[in-house]
Amino acid sequence: MKRRNFLTAAAAATMTAPLAAPPVARAQTSFNWKMTNAYGPGSPFYVEGPGSPTDFCRKVEAMSDGRLRIQHFAAGELIPALEGFDAVRNGTVEMNSANAYFWAGRLPAAQYFTTVPFGMNFQGQNAWLYHGGGMELWDELYAPLGLKALPVGNTGVQMTGWFREPITSVEDFRGLKMRIPGLAGKVYATLGVDVKLLPGGEIFPALERGVIDAAEFVGPYQDRRLGLQNAAKYYYTTGWHEPCNVTELLINKAAWESLPADLQAIVQTAAMACNLESYAWCEANNAAALKDLVDNFGVQANVLPPEVVAALKAATATALEEIAASDPVVRKVHDAFMAFKAEHDGWTAIAEKPLYNLKA
Ligand code: CA
């Protein structure tokens, strides 16, 4: 017994000895970085909360034992909301959190790394990014600009949006004034919608006063926070326009390459953890918020009529083809995305779809 104790103690001493040595190599490499954000102070998911960008900064600092500290600035705290792309490019900050489709004006292919109407959900988008060639294409698109990106969050499926009057046919879109950004706005416009671009904070007053007839934002939790249930009662589902929505962690490529391999691994792993945790947070909160909206605010949550969905789908295919035809880089990303999606849809039809039907 005594002998075994002695051996255990000796083994423990051997094991702990290297840990007691002064961490010389660690002390030589510490980094103080800045991260800006396209979303305002206090925004749940986009700035604060589990799996958010500020949580990412905390995770990286903890995992690196303080060797990589990232100071976070919400929109307006260091630079205006949508200037993160240039700030990271010119090295003013090392990182920015936003959505890649905000840069679609100068980089039309960026849309595919956030979401594509009638594209893929959280599972499919991540399958494409991590294991379907998506990350390689994202790197290829950004490397010439001195940038690198990682997925760092996802809202999951969004909602079609809020309408003051029910939608019974495609004709109801004609002349409808709707707040809807991005590619989906282009699609609605081809069906006669008068598309309005409003920042999140202006949606509620515009919808309440009838300046707009309909609006899209995110999903039940975020939409309830804006009070949209008090301005319209018809809440259509599902997010044909945004089957998921990737939060982009944009990184200055030279800064990224200056990090030792272990800190790069920590950044990648923390980003991946936030991608999952933010999604889980949204799923949990949306479930409770939707129930509250229906039970306590008289909200009617319904799917769009099938012929309306069919018209949106056809208009989306035309719009995507037009964009792909306009630019060889978009064509390459578009074709890769669609080839992966076609294969993934086949698997989804066999596995996920019957599973959902079993639950219903
Ligand atoms: Ca949205």
In the reported structure, the alpha carbon of residue 279 is separated from the centroid of ligand 1 by a whole-number distance in angstroms of 15
Peptide bond into 114 cis (omega under 30): no
Pick from 317, 316, 326: which is nearest to 180 by CA?
A: 316
* 73-90 pLDDT tens trace: 999 999 999 999 999 999
* 26-78 pLDDT tens trace: 456 899 999 999 999 999 999 999 999 999 999 999 999 999 999 999 999 99
In the reported structure, the alpha carbon of residue 89 is separated from the centroid of ligand 1 by a whole-number distance in angstroms of 26
pLDDT tier at 248 (50, 70, 90 boundaries)?
very high
In the reported structure, the alpha carbon of residue 346 is separated from the centroid of ligand 1 by a whole-number distance in angstroms of 26
Half-sphere exposure of 334 (CA within 13 A, CB side): 19
In the reported structure, the alpha carbon of residue 92 is separated from the centroid of ligand 1 by a whole-number distance in angstroms of 28
* 191-226 pLDDT tens trace: 999 999 887 889 999 999 999 999 999 999 999 999
Q: How far apart are the C-alpha atoms of 230 and 296, rounded to whole Å? A: 11
pLDDT tier at 24 (50, 70, 90 boundaries)?
low
The pTM of the full predicted model, rounded to 2 decimals, is: 0.90
What 8-state DSSP symbol labels residue 48? B
In the reported structure, the alpha carbon of residue 186 is separated from the centroid of ligand 1 by a whole-number distance in angstroms of 14
Paired tokens of 343: 């294969």
In the reported structure, the alpha carbon of residue 210 is separated from the centroid of ligand 1 by a whole-number distance in angstroms of 20
Q: How far apart are the C-alpha atoms of 110 and 137, rounded to whole Å? A: 10
Mean residue pLDDT of the chain comes to 93
| DSSP-derived secondary structure for 148-212 | EEEEEEE--S---EEESS---SGGGGTT-EEE--HHHHHHHHHTT-EEE---HHHHHHHHHTTS-
* 134-175 pLDDT tens trace: 999 999 999 999 999 999 999 999 999 999 999 999 999 999
In the reported structure, the alpha carbon of residue 218 is separated from the centroid of ligand 1 by a whole-number distance in angstroms of 4
In the reported structure, the alpha carbon of residue 76 is separated from the centroid of ligand 1 by a whole-number distance in angstroms of 21
* 264-298 pLDDT tens trace: 999 999 999 999 999 999 999 999 999 999 999 99
Residue 303's SS3 state is strand
In the reported structure, the alpha carbon of residue 227 is separated from the centroid of ligand 1 by a whole-number distance in angstroms of 16
In the reported structure, the alpha carbon of residue 195 is separated from the centroid of ligand 1 by a whole-number distance in angstroms of 14
In the reported structure, the alpha carbon of residue 103 is separated from the centroid of ligand 1 by a whole-number distance in angstroms of 15
In the reported structure, the alpha carbon of residue 37 is separated from the centroid of ligand 1 by a whole-number distance in angstroms of 17
pLDDT of 6 reads 46
Pick from 303, 290, 278: which is nearest to 160 by CA?
A: 303
In the reported structure, the alpha carbon of residue 29 is separated from the centroid of ligand 1 by a whole-number distance in angstroms of 40
pLDDT at 243 over 90: yes
pLDDT over 90 percentage in the chain = 87
pLDDT at 11 over 60: no
**What is the arithmetic mean of pLDDT over 329-347?**
97
For domain 31-152+245-284, give the fold.
D-Maltodextrin-Binding Protein; domain 2 (3.40.190)
The whole-angstrom distance between residue 333's C-alpha and the CA centroid of its chain comes to: 18
In the reported structure, the alpha carbon of residue 238 is separated from the centroid of ligand 1 by a whole-number distance in angstroms of 12
Q: How far apart are the C-alpha atoms of 122 and 278, rounded to whole Å? A: 11
pLDDT of 10 reads 45
pLDDT tier at 181 (50, 70, 90 boundaries)?
confident
| DSSP-derived secondary structure for 105-147 | TT-GGGGGGT--TT---HHHHHHHHHHSSHHHHHHHHHGGGTE
Q: Which residues lie below 8 Å from residue 100, measured CB to CB, with a gap of 6+? A: 107, 110, 111, 113, 114, 138, 149, 246, 248
